[in-house]
Structures are given as structure tokens and as C-alpha cells.
Structure 1
Amino acid sequence: MRRLQERILGTSRADVSSSNSELWILGVCYKSSPEESQSDVNSGSGVSAFLQDFSSRIWITYRRGFDAIGNSKCTSDVNWGCMIRSSQMLVAQALLFHHLGRTWRKPSQTPYEKEYIQILSLFGDSESRAFSIHNLIQAGSAYGLTAGSWLGPYAVCRTWETLARANRDHAEPNERKETLPMAVYVVSGDEDGERGGAPVICVDVAARLCSDFSKGQLTWTPMLLLVPLVLGLEKVNPRYIPLLRETFTFPQSLGILGGKPGASTYMVGVQDDKALYLDPHEVQPAIELKRDNLEVDTSSYHCSNVRNLPLDQIDPSLAIGFYCRDKDDFEDLCSCASELGEKSNGAPLFTVSQCRQPTRPVHRSDSSIDRFVGGACNEDGRDELDNFSDCDLHNGEDDWQIL
């Protein structure tokens, strides 16, 4: 398993201090220098500050030993859940920004903030946790998602939209079940689906989603925007690489879901032409985080190892995320997107429009029409799990390795 993953993603760990280039992570810039000065450390602008920021991002990985998912025998998501884990990381950052702000850093000592522990608990591996892999699989059933299967970025974006709506619609005023405290906008093209053309951020659609989210009580609410894209056939068209790189500089950036074919990652930053990412492929035991335990060990939810991946090697099927706290933030995102479009030579990643008739989402049961990113593949391109009849074949203790 380790050799397979290294063949797909490589073993490169980023030495971010070896270059004078800027380091960008989720809209924040740090100055990199082989000889970092004390003034850089004190000002919070150097490599040390970047590493503190990076290690404060929530890291969600493969887990083993949780309760079986639905009616399946799957008690682990090893070899198939990396796209789901990558998406959980992106949504977790949105919740961190919403509740604790972009400047929050993981404290070095306990007790932790209540909001931080509550965010982590939402992603626990059981049906009782609002944003667990169990509930995501149930929400994604309309897209052919089942335990042991893979899904692409477009399907996982729609799955989050479905789960957020279901949690909100079924929540009682006095019920403790958590809901996502923001509207979810999956930005699509002229036709719904991952090949529906360049996605269009429509201001009127965003306003309607905010109104629906607040049940007509507010004209604007916080918003999570997910933009699924297909930027080529076998690899990303080179003309899109500078545009992808620039999205990490947007203040609203939540990074990118993607990676190499067969291995999803969560890309949080960029240096030169290399994406800096958190890798979900490490296998860890499932743990239970209680919402009121502010002394709990959260080390398995953070990673200090920065890995990089050349942008010209990522899979062309990906999704970009943004978080807008209010209407001013949304308008700033639209302005950034419009400026980026002007640099695209007629081939923008996505565009902005005041009004477009939204198409109705198509719930597809045939998952084969989505481009899958997330499963391991053999050298001949076949899915690694084609030879296994059920997930419980991975439950042997000898199978668990650090990837």
C-alpha cells in the first residue's frame, strides 16, 4: 500500500525555506528566505509563521475501526475515502474561519477553545456526527456513492450541498444536531454537471440561496462556494495553471480538492508552480471526540509535514472552494474572479454574472459518468479494489500502514 501511494503521489516533502519565493496559504502570503531574519519571525511573515499556519489547518485522514457504514461491512475507508476526507478538510477550514477567524492558530496548551473542539467533533466517524463519512455516503447515494466506492469532485460537491440541506430541513429548534452555519453554492456551468461549461457565479442565485438558507429572514448570509472544474483530458491544460495558482491568493480561498489521478489531496497553498497539500492517505485509528472535553488530544487532526505537487501534474478534475463571511466578502470574491478572468485570454476558470436561469441539479445513479479521483489504481489503470468483493477484506491488522 505504501509503495502504491508513493508511486501515485511521490514522496516529495517541500523544503519551503530553500527558496526566496512567496508562500501562499488560503489567501495569506508569507515571505520565504533561506536565511530567515529575526524580524521576519517577530512580524509573523516568515517561514516559521507559515509553518504555524499550515499546522493549524485541520487534517482529516483515513481511519480504521469505526462502526460499519450503513448496511456495509466497511469499518475503514482505506483505499477509497480520500476524496471524502479531502472535502471534509476543506469544509472544516470554512468552519474554522467562520467561528474562530482566519488568524486563529492551534494553541500549544490545553484547555482548547470550545468552538475548536466542537468543529472537530462534527467530523467524527459515526452516524451521530453531522459531517461524518457515514452521513456523507448516505447523502451522496443519489450520485451512486456507496461505502467502498470512489467519487469525483463534482459529486462530492453536490453531496455536501445535499447533506447541508438535509440537516437544515430536518433540524428542530431545540435539536442538538449541528447544521452548516452557511449557505452552500455549487457553482455550475450552462448545463448542470462537471462538463457543463465554464462555471458562472450568479449574484442573483447567490442571493436566493442566502434567502432560502435564512428562511427569508436575511438578505445575505455566510456562504460556502464550491466550484467543480474539468480543465483538460489527461492533464491540466497549461493555460489554466497560472489561474489556478492565483486562486490561492484570494482572501476567500479554501484551497482545492484534487491531486493526481487515483489519489485525492487537499491543496491549501502554493509556492512557485507547486501546490502545497495535506495528504489524507495516512491511516489512523478512529477516535471519539466529546464536545465538552477541552483537554482531549487533537494531534491526529494536525500535520506539520508540508508536501508539494507540481501544478502541471494534478488531475484535471478538481474543485475550488471559497468562504464568504458576508456580502462585502462575496462582492470582493466576484471582483477578484472578474480580474482573474481578464487575464485568462478567453479561457477563464469561472465567470461572474448578475443573472442566469439556474438549472435543476441532476441526481445521477450511474457514478461512472463522473470522473473519479480518489481510488488507487494498478499500473494498467484498473481500480485497485476491483479484486476485492467487500471492504472487510481490509480489516486485517497487517494491512494498516502509514502512507
Structure 2
Amino acid sequence: MTDLPKRAVDSNFPAGHLTDSLDRELEPTVLDQEIGNIRSTKSSLWSKIFTSKLCIRETHHNPSSSGKETKSISNGWSASLRRVVTGGAMRRIQERILGTSRADVSSSASEIWLLGMCYKASPEESQPGANNGNGVPAFLQDFSSRIRITYRKGFDAISNSKFTSDVNWGCMIRSSQMLVAQALLFHHLGRAWRKPSLTPYEREYIQILHLFGDSEACAFSIHNLIRAGSAYGLTAGSWLGPYAVCRTWETLARANREHDEPNLRKETLPMAVYIVSGDGDGEHGGAPVICVDVAARICADFSNGQFTWTPILLLVPLVLGLEKVNPRYIPLLRETFTFPQSLGILGGKPGASTYMVGVQDDKALYLDPHEVQSVVQIKRDNLEADTSSYHCSNVRNLPLDQIDPSLAIGFYCRDKDDFDDLCWRASELGEKSNGAPLFTVTRSLQPTRPVHHHDSSVDRLIGGASCGNGMDEPFGVGNSEYDTHTGEDEWQIL
């Protein structure tokens, strides 16, 4: 999920390089590299297991009796390996890599921010009969109502590949599905919605889950996302960064809306999609700039000119450092969770994407896509469906100073007033940034050039290091000096 060479779209483990093991549910990935850093001998054993011919799904047949015996033994190994992959051992390995554990949010009296809502633990909560609607129980109810989408196994093969699971390569896609699912919840049911304890469920809730089912028939499935992301090098079994997955959502939403054959046209997002980027449409990095005129044009195009404004989903891909996030950006990232429009952050550690939905003190609270679950198809009219696999009450945390510098922030604005409020908050945040905002706001987009930061060479590689040319800045964004050097090699590709 990072943009460093070993974790880019053309990773060390592309689908085309796995011709001998396409049927496996788990491939050697960055997990093996991290385990090797812990204990090389165990890593070697792990690698041998996964490069052997003991595939999880046996595909060779031998008509002889000895062949049948061999196949039976192999299937026994496969069953044992599957239990390792999907059991607690894999969870412990993942926690070792992420360096995370379950969070006890009640152990601190600090505020908890969850997608724009504030909660706070208090001593009164521990007293019998206490009813604090803004405390930890309320937070946990809110957190467990967020839609969690994880690795799945057992779905139909993706496109022309033999992948029937996304274990160990689909975490960025799953994280992005979670972010978009929250946007749909906010749009259809409102931010105050909580998952009911009893059925029947709301029809809108069930229909949202149906959209993220693991089949081509479901509009926002991993199958359709991979097809839409082919222009960005996305294939089954490959890694991709936040910028590519954001563009993939933009492409999928447009394709669903503009399909030539109405009977083949799938559901589309009920909101416009705005990828906030910098120079060269973000292809060469640059400063992300929310442009009011661009947002208005995107809304008009979305409604075919019928409305001047529509609900809008903003995705802001960023690269905030090289190996680690530059510390100056951590307070700014933290404050974005306080925005009422917040949809959280796609991020995590290198090679292990998560969906960060909140923050307490210096730690991000997140939903983890790395649990392996069997495929579940939620029918759009089944209001009694078992939806437990789409929710989680276990809160996990990750220190903000350990997250991958390649990430994407999401916002949902219901109307023009909501968008204006986001712009105002972003401008206020920019004034606190000491000249290095995450992103800036302008009325009309003007040509920009990178801003030179004399104090650190790292800063010249950061997507949020510059702002517009300041010719029209209605939201109070200050002007910045331009660097005379305009070479593209200063910018890291998102």
C-alpha cells in the first residue's frame, strides 16, 4: 500500500509471476519478509511450506491407487495449512507486523474522535446506574456499527485468473471498500445511525452490504474494482497504492453510470467523486488542492447539468514522507478525524493496509481487513440476513508515528453548505501547519509549482508541501514562495 519500489503496483508478487500457485489462498508476501526480520530460520521454513507443491486446493489427479493415497495425504496437509492461515496464528503474525493490539479506550480519559464524533471516558461510567450517552459504551456502539470488510475466501474466480480469495493481497481494496461503505451509510441513513440489535434491518443497510458482495453481479465487489483498476496496473494478486485505488473508485463509478447498455448498467454511487490531487492531475505528486470550481463542475457533470450541487465524496491521496511520516503532519492528520465530514484514512503499515476511523491520544483506531472469512452473499431483499461478519467490536490501535506515509483521506459532503464547512475547516487547519499543510483550498485552480522547504530534503517529496498560487483564496490560505526548480524528479509518485 506504499509507493516505495517493493510495494508498488508492480510488486515482487504480481499475478503473472504466480503461475505455479494461482490456486493458493495465501502467497508469500511482505509477511514473510517481516517474519524473517524476527527469526530467519522460521521464515525459511514458512517460505518452504508456501513454495512446495502442497497447495491448499489440489489440482493434480492420478488414477492409480498410490496416486489416491498421495492426494489424501496432500489434502491432509492442505487442511492443516488452511487452519494456520485462517486461525489465530495468522492473527498473531499480523499483529507482530502491524505492532498493534486491542485498544482499551477506557484506560485513558482523553477524548476519542470517531469519524467526526467525540466521545470521552469518565469516572462516572464505572458507577452503577451511570448513563453517559457520550462515553465509552456509546463509542463502542458507534464503532461496532461501522461496516467492516475483510479478506474473503471461496468466491468465484476473479476475471481470467484463478484467484478465489484475496488473502494477503487485497487489504488496500478492502480498506477502500470500508471507506466507501461508510459514505453510503452516512448518505442513506445519516451519521447518527447505529446497527439495530434485532431484525428486520433497514432496507438501505442491507442494500449497501449487497453492493460489496464478492461477485461480478455486485456493483462494488473486488471483481469489479480490479476490472476498473486495470488502467492503473491493478490485477488479482497485485499490490496497489492509495492513489491508484482512489482513481479506481472514480473509474468504477463513472463506468457504472455511463455504461452503453442500460440492462448491463450496475448501481452507481449516489454522489460525485472528486480525487483531490496536485500538478499533472496527481500523476507526478504535487500539492493536493481542493478547488471549489472543480468540485462544482464535477457535481454538475454528475447530475447532467440538472443541479448546481450534489452530494460529493472527496478522496485525498498523500505521501507524507519517505520511510516514515514526517512528524509535522501527525497533529494535522489527527485533527482531520474531528471534521464532521470525516470518512477516515486509508493507511497502515507498509504492506498491511487498514481503515483508520478514529484517534485517541497519539494512536489511530482502525478496522482491520486481515481476518479471513468465508464468502457471504447478502441478498438485497433479505432483511433478516446474518450481517455479523460485516461488523467488529474489537478496537485496535496503531501509533500515528508508525503509519505508512502513503495514505488517503476521505470526506463526504451532503450539500454545498457541508462542502463550504469542510473548506473552512481545511483552511483553518492549514493556518496551523507552519507552512506545510496536508492540502489547501482555492476558488479556482491555477498552475502550481513545488514549494521548496529549506529545512529538510524529505519535505520536497511530500504531496502536501505546497499550495496554490494565491491569486484567489477565499478561505484564507496564505501564499507561498515558489521554488525555481521544476523538475519532476523532486516529486514522489503517489
TM-score range, shorter chain: 0.7 to 0.9
Tell me: CA distance 1:107–1:246, structure 2 relative to 1, closer, same or farther (3 Å): same
Cα distance in 1 between the residues matched to 2:249 and 2:387: 24
1:141-290 alignment runs, 5 A limit: 141-170=230-259, 177-193=266-282, 195-290=284-379
Cα distance in 1 between the residues matched to 2:127 and 2:296: 46
> Which fold has the larger relative contact order, with Cα–Cα distance below 8 Å and residues 6 or more apart in sequence?
1
Q: Does residue 51 in structure 1 map to residue 122 in structure 2?
A: no
SS at match of 1:318: strand
Structure 2 partner of 1:308: 397
When structure 1 is superposed on structure 2, of 39-48 and 15-24 the one drifting more is 39-48
CA positional deviation for 1:176: 7.3
Matched AA of 1:299: S
Tell me: CA distance 1:37–1:82, structure 2 relative to 1, closer, same or farther (3 Å): same
Decide whether the 8 Å contact of 2:125 with 2:131 is kept in 1. no
Cα shift readout 1:28-79 (whole Å, capped 9, x = no counterpart): 0001235526799634200000000000000000000000000000000000
Tell me: CA distance 1:246–1:136, structure 2 relative to 1, closer, same or farther (3 Å): same
CA positional deviation for 1:193: 2.9
SS at match of 1:266: strand
Q: Does residue 323 in structure 1 map to residue 412 in structure 2?
A: yes
CA positional deviation for 1:358: 8.7
CA positional deviation for 1:175: 7.0
- The answer for unaligned runs of 5 or more in structure 2 is 1-84, 449-491
Length, aligned pairs only: 362
Decide whether the 8 Å contact of 1:194 with 1:230 is kept in 2. no
TM-score, structure 2 normalization: 0.71
SS at match of 2:240: coil
- The answer for unaligned runs of 5 or more in structure 1 is 360-368, 372-403
Decide whether the 8 Å contact of 2:357 with 2:365 is kept in 1. yes
SS at match of 1:108: coil
SS at match of 1:201: strand
1:97-176 alignment runs, 5 A limit: 97-170=186-259
1:359-398 alignment runs, 5 A limit: none
SS at match of 2:325: coil
Q: Does residue 32 in structure 1 map to residue 121 in structure 2?
A: yes
Decide whether the 8 Å contact of 2:100 with 2:397 is kept in 1. no
Structure 2 partner of 1:296: 385
Cα shift readout 1:357-398 (whole Å, capped 9, x = no counterpart): 599xxxxxxxxx966xxxxxxxxxxxxxxxxxxxxxxxxxxx
TM-score, structure 1 normalization: 0.87
Cα distance in 1 between the residues matched to 2:145 and 2:127: 22
2:428 counterpart (328, 339, 347): 339
Structure 2 partner of 1:380: none
Q: Does residue 71 in structure 1 map to residue 132 in structure 2?
A: no
1:83-102 alignment runs, 5 A limit: 83-102=172-191
Matched AA of 1:115: E
Decide whether the 8 Å contact of 2:152 with 2:166 is kept in 1. yes
Cα distance in 1 between the residues matched to 2:258 and 2:370: 33
When structure 1 is superposed on structure 2, of 1-10 and 129-138 the one drifting more is 1-10
Structure 2 partner of 1:15: 104
Cα distance in 1 between the residues matched to 2:242 and 2:384: 35
Cα distance in 2 between the residues matched to 1:316 and 1:40: 44
Matched AA of 2:424: S
Identity %, equivalent residues: 86
SS at match of 1:80: coil
Cα shift readout 1:213-255 (whole Å, capped 9, x = no counterpart): 0000000000000000000000000000000000000000000
Decide whether the 8 Å contact of 2:125 with 2:132 is kept in 1. no
